[in-house]
């Protein structure tokens, strides 16, 4: 049976904005209060999906969540009509209003952790949606994400675990802190879970016991599962997820010298679980942690191409930093599996700390499993064109935080989601449609 990775990108929602909500995320803090361009954001995301298709990769997407989520404000004591709830929140708790408007579900690397069927004892694909407990605007994603995953991956080939309980005690940020190694996608893979401990500047989001719980729920083989502590220095430099300083694919770990607290022990543990792994590392003397965080070099998608090549899909920012560009050129020239680099503009997402790798959830599927999912959520060129037209028709090109106070903007955002479910023939999917 043939297995291949399908990347499920988050379709960027119409409320994409810069509210500065994400603690430890330096780009989000830097751009707090700036005016966003949701239309450009979504078109950049779709252009990335098109680029991956043209590289020969299979591509899918997850729909945006319903935002604003006024049920959250109602649960927090706001009452009355939608307009009354928005008005009251905008006067007395504008920060809460921004939280329920966030389009943060676009970063689907944080949607869930996935174990493909060759790695699980029951031969099924396992999903655990991330509880995203450490930031409020993200913690309110889990329920809707779980529902979307169940809708897309339906039938008895897929197992959906609930998000981990216990809030921040089991803080889980999904696949952004997880990597899988396998010589071929259909081989039994080895799993790398990177957890954090609080730094001096920033708290850690991913707890070790959360990673352990996910590995346990998915039934991963202990000898092929590694738990590694992220370097506190990397966390404090702004690597709020490990995918800001490392990315794994196939037989490769592409990483920064200062990604892990104990580099030698981490590399040894990875090599023990997956002896075939080629560790391609940027030395701190060549690329500093600050360079890595500002360029998002390691937040590239590392993808295997049909002809056997391996490509890095990088944000433009990494082409613009001379030291980072030199390291990419050197990596391509050396004798290792990576032999292509593609630079893409995802600046609207980058300004919130989300690069190419943040925007996608990787799901390794057999041909039969791929055939079993809801085909609406796989894209070809024509579907991308249709989604682009929808975005052009329904998304604003300018959104300031003050605009969130206007109840008519809520109607506009819901109208865009209505158009999406109509386009896909999904029926009533969002709570406001039921």
Do β-strands 301-304 and 158-160 pair in parallel, antiparallel, or remain unpaired? unpaired
For the stretch 128-157, what's the b/e string if a residue is b when 16 or more beta carbons lie within 10 angstroms of its beta carbon? bbbbbbbbebbbbbbbbbbbbbebbbeeeb
Q: How far is the CB of 32 from ligand SUG (least distance, A)?
A: 7
Q: Which of 100, 244, 314, 373 binds ligand SUG (CB under 6 A)?
A: 244
- Decide: 332 and 309 in contact? Cβ < 8 Å: no
**Computed from CA positions of residues 169, 173, 177, 179, in that sequence, does the dihedral angle turn out positive or negative?**
positive
Beta carbon nearer to ligand SUG, 43 or 176: 176
Is 241 one of the catalytic residues? yes
Beta carbon nearer to ligand SUG, 9 or 369: 9
Q: Which of 102, 321, 331, 366 binds ligand SUG (CB under 6 A)?
A: 102
CA–CA separation, 245 and 230 (whole Å): 10
Instruction: Spell out, one character per residue from 132 to 151, where the chain touches ligand SUG: x when CB under 6 A holds, - when not.
Output: ------x-------------
Task: State yes or no: residue 354 binds ligand SUG (CB under 6 A).
Answer: yes
CA–CA separation, 109 and 107 (whole Å): 6
Q: ∠ CA 342-357-124 to the nearest 5 degrees?
A: 120
Task: State yes or no: residue 399 binds ligand SUG (CB under 6 A).
Answer: no
Q: How far is the CB of 158 from ligand SUG (least distance, A)?
A: 22
Do β-strands 252-256 and 278-282 pair in parallel, antiparallel, or remain unpaired? parallel
- Decide: 296 and 244 in contact? Cβ < 8 Å: yes
Place of tokens 């360029």: 295
Is 367 one of the catalytic residues? no
Task: State yes or no: residue 109 binds ligand SUG (CB under 6 A).
Answer: yes
Beta carbon nearer to ligand SUG, 159 or 303: 303
The single residue of 5, 141, 173, 369 carrying the catalytic annotation is 173
Q: Which of 50, 67, 191, 241 binds ligand SUG (CB under 6 A)?
A: 241
Q: How far is the CB of 334 from ligand SUG (least distance, A)?
A: 26
Q: How many binding residues for ligand SUG (CB under 6 A)? A: 22
310 closest CA partner among 253, 383, 381, 227: 253
Beta carbon nearer to ligand SUG, 159 or 413: 413
Residue 281 DSSP class: E
Beta carbon nearer to ligand SUG, 124 or 241: 241
Q: In what order do the strands lie in the sheet with 178-181?
A: 178-181, 190-195, 225-229
Task: State yes or no: residue 243 binds ligand SUG (CB under 6 A).
Answer: yes
Beta carbon nearer to ligand SUG, 38 or 354: 354
68: cis peptide before it, omega within 30°?
yes
CA–CA separation, 78 and 294 (whole Å): 39
Site for ligand SUG, residues 15 to 54, rule: CB under 6 A:
18-22, 25, 28
The interface region with ligand SUG, picked from 3-11, 13-21, 145-153, 263-271 by CB under 6 A, is 13-21
Strand partners, 180: 191
The single residue of 57, 256, 257, 358 carrying the catalytic annotation is 358
The single residue of 137, 241, 256, 394 carrying the catalytic annotation is 241
Is 191 one of the catalytic residues? no
Enumerate the active-site residues.
173, 241, 358
Q: In the complex, which residues of this chain contact ligand SUG (CB under 6 A)? A: 18-22, 25, 28, 102, 104, 107, 109-110, 138, 176, 240-241, 243-244, 352-354, 358
């Amino acid at each position: 049976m043939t297995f291949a990775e399908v990347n499920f990108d988050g379709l960027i929602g119409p409320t994409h904005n810069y509210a500065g909500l994400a603690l430890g995320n330096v780009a989000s803090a830097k751009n707090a209060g700036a005016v966003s361009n949701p239309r450009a954001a979504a078109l950049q995301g779709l252009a990335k999906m098109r680029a991956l298709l043209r590289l020969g990769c299979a591509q899918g997407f997850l729909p945006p969540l319903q935002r604003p989520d006024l049920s959250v404000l109602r649960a927090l004591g706001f009452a009355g009509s939608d307009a009354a709830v928005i008005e009251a929140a905008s006067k007395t708790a504008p920060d809460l209003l921004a939280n329920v408007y966030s389009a943060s579900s676009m970063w689907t690397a944080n949607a869930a952790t996935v174990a493909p069927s060759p790695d699980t004892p029951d031969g099924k694909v396992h999903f655990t949606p991330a509880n995203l407990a450490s930031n409020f605007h993200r913690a309110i994603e889990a329920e809707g994400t779980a529902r979307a995953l169940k809708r897309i991956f339906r039938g008895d080939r897929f197992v959906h675990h609930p998000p981990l309980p216990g809030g921040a005690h089991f803080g889980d940020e999904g696949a952004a802190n997880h990597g899988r190694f396998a010589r071929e996608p259909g081989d039994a893979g080895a799993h790398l879970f990177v957890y954090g401990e609080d730094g001096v500047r920033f708290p850690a989001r991913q707890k070790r016991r959360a990673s352990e719980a996910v590995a346990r729920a998915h039934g991963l083989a202990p000898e092929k599962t590694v738990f590694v502590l992220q370097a506190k220095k990397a966390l404090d430099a702004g690597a709020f997820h490990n995918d800001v300083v490392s990315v794994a694919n196939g037989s490769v770990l592409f990483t920064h010298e200062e990604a892990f607290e104990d580099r030698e022990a981490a590399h040894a543990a990875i090599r023990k679980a997956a002896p075939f792994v080629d560790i391609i590392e940027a030395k701190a003397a060549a690329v500093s942690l600050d360079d890595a965080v500002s360029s998002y070099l390691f937040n590239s998608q590392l993808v295997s191409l049909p002809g056997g090549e391996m490509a890095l899909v990088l944000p433009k920012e990494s082409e613009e930093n001379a030291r980072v560009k030199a390291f990419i050129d050197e990596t391509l020239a050396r004798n290792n599996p990576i032999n292509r680099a593609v630079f893409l503009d995802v600046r609207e997402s980058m300004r919130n700390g989300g690069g190419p790798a943040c925007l996608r959830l990787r799901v390794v599927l057999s041909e039969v499993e791929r055939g079993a999912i809801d085909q609406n959520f796989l894209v070809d060129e024509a579907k991308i064109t249709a989604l682009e037209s929808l975005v052009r028709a329904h998304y604003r090109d300018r959104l300031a935080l003050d605009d969130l106070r206007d109840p008519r903007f809520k109607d506009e955002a819901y109208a865009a989601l209505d158009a999406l479910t109509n386009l896909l023939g999904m029926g009533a999917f969002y709570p406001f449609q039921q």
